Structure 1
Amino acid sequence: MPLQNRVTPDGRIIAVHERGRWMGNRGCLHDDNRNLGRALWKHPSWVICTLELLPGRPAPRQLMAPRHYTELFFLDEATALSAGHRPCARCRRAAHDAFRHAAGGFDRTGDLDQQLHGERVAILKGRAQPVAQADSLPDGAFIKADGQAMLIAEGQAHPWTPGGYGAPRPLPRDPVPILTPATSLKALANGYAVQMAL
C-alpha cells in the first residue's frame, strides 16, 4: 500500500504508487505508524527540494520516520508551485532567489512564506477561488476545468494525473478557477523558469 505523501495541484495529499520528481515539506504531518492526521501543514514554510543528494546533506532516511518532517512528493515543480510550495533556500538557492525576485522582490523569505500561506489556505479551505481567462495566464499555471486540474503550457491545457499529463486540449474559452496562488502566478508571469513534466 503506498504512503499518503503525493501532492496534487490543489494542495491535497493523496496515496498513489507513482513517484514524484521533487520533494516538499510542511512539517511533521504523520504519526508513528506513518499515517497522516487531519493537519495539512505544521508551519508556513512549504518548500520544494531537489531529490539529488547534495554535498553536505545527510543520506536518505526512512520515509515518514517518527517525529521527523513528512516527505511530500510532486510530479513536477509546476505542481508544487500550484500546491502553494516555493523553492527551498537551502538545497535550491539559485531557484529560491529567482523565485523570490520574480514574485515581487520580497526582502525576507519569511515575508514570502506569509504571503503564500494566506493565499494557499484560502484556496484549500474554499474561501477564495479566483477565476480568469485561461489564455491570460502564464505557462506553468494550473486551472480547474472539466472537473480536473490542468496545466497551462504553450497555449494548451494539459490534464494532470499523478503519473503525468494527458493529451493536450484547447484552452477553455470561459473564465476558469485558478489553482496556482497569486504570488506564484506573479513569479511565473515575471519569468520564473518552472520545471514542467511535459
Structure 2
Amino acid sequence: MSAMHRQNRVTPLGMFEAVPARGLFMGNRGNLRRRDGTQKIWHARGWVCCVTSFRGRRIDLDDPRRYTPLFFMDEAVALAAGHRPCGECRHADYQAFKQAWRRAFTLADDAPLTAGDMDKALHAARIARSRQTTFRAASRDMPAGTFVALDDRPGEAFLIDQSELYRWSHAGYGPPVPMPGTDATVLTPRPTLAVLRAGYAPRLAARG
C-alpha cells in the first residue's frame, strides 16, 4: 500500500486499493478498522453511497471512532460494489432508487419499504464469506449502469452503457468496445440490476 494514499478506493470488483484518484462519491459500510490495524470488508449492513461534500461537514479519515470513508469513481462503481444512495445527503436519488425498487419488485406505493428492507436484500446478494457475489449472464441482457467482467480480460471491469462496454479505471473510462456475444461475469448485485431495469439512472463519469 502506498505511504501517501489510504486503501479506501473501491473497485467494481469489490477490492480496496490505494490510488491518488478521489472519485465522485464517498461510501460508508461502518467502522472497518480492526484493533490490529487491518481493515474489514464491512461492519454495518447499510452500505450507502454519499456525496463528498454535504452541509460543510468534515470527516476525519483517521478517527477510529467513526465510520471508514470509502471512495468511488462514480455511482455505477458504488452500485456494483453493493452500495445504494444515502437517504440523507442524496435524498432525491434515494427516493428515486426506492421508487424503482418498488417497480422492480411490484410493491404498491403504500406497501412498507424501509432502507433496512433494501439493505437486507442487497447484503444477501452482494457478499458471501467476505467475497463479492457474482453470477454469469449474457452482457446484452444487462441494463445500462451494470458492470461485468470478461473471460478474456481477467482483472478488468467494464461498464455497460448504450449497448457498448467501457473499460473502467480509477482515472475514468476508456473508449467503447463491442459488446461480446458470450456470457460474462456480472458484478452488480441482482437486486440492483432489477432497480436499474426499472428505470433508476446512476450518475456516471464521462465515457470514452
TM above 0.5 = yes
Verify: 1:68 aligned to 2:53, yes or no.
no
Name the SS for the 1:81 alignment partner.
helix
Say whether the 8 Å CA contact 1:157–1:171 is kept in structure 2: yes
- Counterpart residue number, 1:93: 91
Say whether the 8 Å CA contact 1:123–1:129 is kept in structure 2: no
Name the SS for the 2:61 alignment partner.
coil
- Counterpart residue number, 1:183: 191
The alpha carbon displacement at 1:64 in A equals 2.8
* Cα shift readout 1:81-112 (whole Å, capped 9, x = no counterpart): 00000000111111112112212356111010
Give me the TM-score of the superposition, normalised by structure 1. Answer: 0.90
User: Among the aligned pairs, what percent are the same residue?
Assistant: 40
Structure 2: state its 5+ residue gaps: none
- Counterpart residue number, 1:30: 33
The alpha carbon displacement at 1:155 in A equals 1.1
- Counterpart residue number, 1:164: 172
* Cα shift readout 1:7-55 (whole Å, capped 9, x = no counterpart): 111222111111111000001112589x542x2000110000112322x
Q: Judge which range, 157-166 or 104-113, deviates more.
A: 104-113
Name the SS for the 1:165 alignment partner.
strand
Verify: 1:50 aligned to 2:51, yes or no.
yes
Please identify runs of 4+ aligned residues in structure 1 that moved more than 6 A. Answer: none
Structure 1: state its 5+ residue gaps: none
Alpha-carbon RMSD across the aligned residues, in angstroms, is 1.9
Name the SS for the 1:95 alignment partner.
helix
The 5 A counterparts of 1:123-162 are 125=131, 128-145=133-150, 146-147=153-154, 148-162=156-170
Name the SS for the 1:167 alignment partner.
strand
Verify: 1:84 aligned to 2:85, yes or no.
no
Say whether the 8 Å CA contact 2:100–2:199 is kept in structure 1: yes
Say whether the 8 Å CA contact 1:21–1:73 is kept in structure 2: yes
- Counterpart residue number, 1:107: 113
Measure the CA separation in 1 of the matches of 2:38 and 2:195. 31
Q: Would you say how many aligned residue pairs link Structure 1 and Structure 2?
A: 192
Say whether the 8 Å CA contact 2:148–2:188 is kept in structure 1: yes
The alpha carbon displacement at 1:66 in A equals 2.1
Say whether the 8 Å CA contact 1:4–1:36 is kept in structure 2: no
